[in-house]
Amino acid sequence: MRCFLSIAVAVAACAVPSSADAEAGPFTLVNGAGAKIESLSIRRFGTDAWKPLAGSPSAGAQQKIAFSDPDCAFDIQGKLAGGATAVWSGVNLCEVSAVVLNRNASGATWVDYQ
């Protein structure tokens, strides 16, 4: 039984990806904000320094985003057609292929992952 427990713990440890191996890479951004995103900015979660991010997808469109960073959690800001600004906070960009930026009519934002 003790041997089985040791093997189970070892297998579980190997199955969980190490945070040292995780990093943000290129992803597809899907605009679910209901308006064209005129410009995008990104910052590491919990910081103040916004950096421009290439991309300006129309409502409902998707766009491949070239991105690389050793961190995983980010805030994404979009300047929307019509003058509104939306912020999607705590977006995990590690080990995802697509990020859907959603916004409802009252301005609430959320992210779906694919």
In tens, the pLDDT along 29-74 reads 999 999 999 999 999 999 999 999 998 999 999 999 999 999 999 9
Domains of the chain (ranges; CATH) run 20-113 (2.60.40.2890)
Spatial neighbors of 14 by CB under 8 A, at least 6 apart, are none
Give this prediction's pTM.
Answer: 0.79
User: In the prediction, which pLDDT does 16 show?
Assistant: 39
* pLDDT of 104 above 50: yes
User: In the prediction, which pLDDT does 22 show?
Assistant: 80
∠ CA 22-24-26 to the nearest 5 degrees? Answer: 130
